[in-house]
A and B are shown apart, each in its own frame.
Chain A
Amino acid sequence: MRWFARRLCFYVFAIWVALTINFLLPRLMPGSPISGLLQHLSPAQLAANPGIVQTYEALLGGGHHSVWQDYVTYLHRISHFNFGISTSNYPTPVSEVVGRTLPYSIFLVGVAFILSFVIGTGVGMVAAWRRGRFTDSFIVPALMTVSAFPAFVLALLGLYFLGLKAGWFPIQHAYDNDVIPGWSWTFISSAFRHAQLPILVIIAAYAGGWVLNMRTVMINTIGEDYVGMAHAKGLRDRRVMTRYAGRNAILPPLNGFAAQFASAVGGLVFVEIIFSYPGVGYTLQSAVLGNDYPLAQAILVVLSVCVIIANLIMDVLNFVLDPRLRTS
């Protein structure tokens, strides 16, 4: 339990750091933050959104107070989930834009990342168990080569070859244009079909890392006495592989889940942009390019929180799988 409490404290601290970075970023740039932001805007943008200057002033504390006062106001606002108004979707609140786009991203990255973990560790386990055989000499190098390409390159390749040339998958958006989002079968099946290719790309991009990781740890585990003991007891080969060697070997990759998930969220941004998939990554790019800083800031916070929640889930899983954590 103490272990859990420590983790929770750490996560709260991490969120606080993310919020503080958000607060400090515009202030670290030379010049006054407001003029810096306004400099990016075209006169047309200013004319179209009369409230834009006030929005930025509210976002940055107006520049009339001391930094500390601004900081307290800022934290107070965020703690009430008030991220301000999205200037590129004026006058929609940021929270509404995020709420609309986040489910798509969570669905995409959640399914894809768990699948890549399962596939990657599975292949890594088998490859280490049967060194130099088919899986080890064909599938491992192939997955490694594929994963060496950055996610956005894989997405472009998938878009071109699988979407455009082969025509197997839809290449854009999260659902067909004539479908209305809702809990209807047509929408769900359409959304599912549109998610296939992005999910496939994320799996291809990240499975290789898990394979490499799991294979290395598994090779070290195979040399352990308890694996030899399990063999000596006459257990079936498959059982020794999964229950004895595999179960112990999966702990280090599981601990690396945190950093990998954070990196997968980065990959997700690119994949969403290439497939014009209306998730937070796609929104983040258009927010930054459109100088919609309230929205960009909120998305950074939301993504950090998502990574932290994924970490929490992993902690629980770790707790269940690793008896050492339970006894200490």
Chain B
Amino acid sequence: MAQLDPTALDLPLVAPKRSIRVGRIRVPGWLALLLRNSKSRTGLLIVAFMVFIAIIAPLISVAHPNDFNILATRQAPSWHHLFGTTDQGSDVFSQVVVGARRSLLLGALAGALATLVAAALGITAAYVGGIADEIVNLLTNVFLTIPAIPLLIVASGYLRARGMWTMIAVIALVLWAFEARILRAQALTLKNRDFVLAAKASGEPTWRIVFGELMPNMISRIAAAFVLVFYVALLVDSGLEFLGLGDMSATSWGVTIYWAQVNSTVLQGEWWPFMFPSLALGLTVLGLVLVLAGIDEVSNPQLRTEHKRGRLARIVFGRAAA
């Protein structure tokens, strides 16, 4: 699922104080911090570019993504069809551009829902402690043990309608454990801080301490966890669509790759119907991974170093490779 799992996120907090302060800074503050780091800057640029493309998709797509044209099937990329055409003569460029909308939206919403569940459960469990904590911890570990992709495949096999919201709910339900583990561990380090104890002493109810005191102080960590689940959800969703188990009437990257696979275009030497949506997917994930790596470096100064790198390395990988 997450091939790149920057588990550095759940290492013992090296500089918790700093990360809390990062969370308190106004929005431009954290953005500035992320933009100063070369990795997260590259990542943010990539993601922003993808989001931008998704927003202006109707303006730049040359044809309706599912329009077919028997006279123009299986065309290699050309000026007329930038990314070539599919077996049905649909324009791959339009499919990729319009598909970005659904793929990104679904990934982001599923990630947000999973984050919400994980934050509520993980932080509450850590704060309350005792038997509730044991139960949440146990559930988290169980969900991490049962392989998520096969579970999702079987679950979506039972679904009768595979609309967008259904897929979001199913994916979030399977992925929340990922984050809950991280957020619980981080909440544990916060629960005995003075401000939490003070809130407790003044008689604040549990839900107010969790949502009003702990969560705002962990906002940077929650955001990082969201980025992680965002790209995992993106991968999982396109994976399910690739298997023919998503909403196959929609236009998305996974669906385009699915049809490329079903029509065995790869075996016939047609690389464009699967290559372009795959590249878009991979690039987006890479961007999100870089953002995460940048967040790690910002909050863990030990990971940052000034490198002496050769000129070639700078040219090939840019500053992102640092």
Residues on A lying within 8 angstroms of B by beta carbon are: 10-11, 13-14, 17-18, 21-22, 25-26, 29-30, 36, 39, 131-132, 136-138, 140-141, 144-145, 147-153, 156-157, 159-160, 164, 171, 205-206, 208-209, 212-213, 216-217, 219-220, 223, 252-253, 256, 258-260, 262-263, 265-267, 269-270, 273-274, 281, 284-285, 288-289, 291, 293, 296-297, 299-300, 303-304, 307-308, 311
Contacts of A39 in B (CB 8 A): 160
Measured CA separation A14–B238 after assembly (Å): 27
A219→B303 contact, CB < 8 A: yes
Q: Which of B6, B261, B293, B307 contacts A131 (CB 8 A)?
A: B307
**Shortest beta-carbon distance, A197 to chain B, in Å?**
13
**Shortest beta-carbon distance, B162 to chain A, in Å?**
12
CB nearest to B177 among chain A residues = A259
A150→B285 contact, CB < 8 A: yes
A-B contact pairs, 20 of them (CB 8 A): A138-B313, A145-B286, A149-B282, A152-B239, A153-B282, A156-B274, A160-B275, A212-B4, A216-B11, A219-B302, A252-B11, A256-B5, A258-B145, A262-B146, A263-B147, A269-B243, A273-B243, A288-B156, A296-B154, A300-B151
Determine which residue in A36, A153, A212, A219 has the highest number of CB atoms from chain B within 10 A of its CB, and name it. Answer: A153
CB nearest to A159 among chain B residues = B266
Q: Which of B239-253 contact A (CB under 8 A)?
A: 239, 242-245
Sorted nearest first, the 10 A-B pairs with minimum C-beta distance are A266-B149, A132-B307, A288-B157, A148-B286, A149-B282, A153-B278, A263-B1, A216-B8, A141-B321, A265-B147
Known: A148-B4, A259-B5. A25 touches B243 (CB 8 A): no
In the complex, B78 has a CB within 8 A of chain A: no
**Shortest beta-carbon distance, A69 to chain B, in Å?**
22
In the complex, B33 has a CB within 8 A of chain A: no
Contacts of B145 in A (CB 8 A): 11, 14, 258, 262, 304, 307-308, 311
Q: Which of B278-320 contact A (CB under 8 A)?
A: 278, 281-282, 285-286, 289, 293, 296, 302-303, 305, 307-310, 313, 316-317, 320
Known: A138-B313, A212-B4, A263-B3. A149 touches B278 (CB 8 A): yes
A266→B147 contact, CB < 8 A: yes
B3→A14 contact, CB < 8 A: no
In the complex, B56 has a CB within 8 A of chain A: no
CB nearest to A302 among chain B residues = B150
Contacts of B285 in A (CB 8 A): 148-150
Contacts of A157 in B (CB 8 A): 275, 278
A263→B148 contact, CB < 8 A: yes
A206→B3 contact, CB < 8 A: yes
Known: A260-B5, A263-B1, A300-B150. A144 touches B289 (CB 8 A): yes
Known: A150-B282, A216-B8. A270 touches B242 (CB 8 A): yes
- How many B residues touch the partner, as a band? 35 or more
Measured CA separation A266–B178 after assembly (Å): 15
**Shortest beta-carbon distance, A264 to chain B, in Å?**
8
A265→B5 contact, CB < 8 A: no
B1→A266 contact, CB < 8 A: yes
**Shortest beta-carbon distance, B131 to chain A, in Å?**
15
In the complex, B141 has a CB within 8 A of chain A: yes
Q: Which of B5, B271, B289 contacts A160 (CB 8 A)?
A: B271
In the complex, B142 has a CB within 8 A of chain A: yes
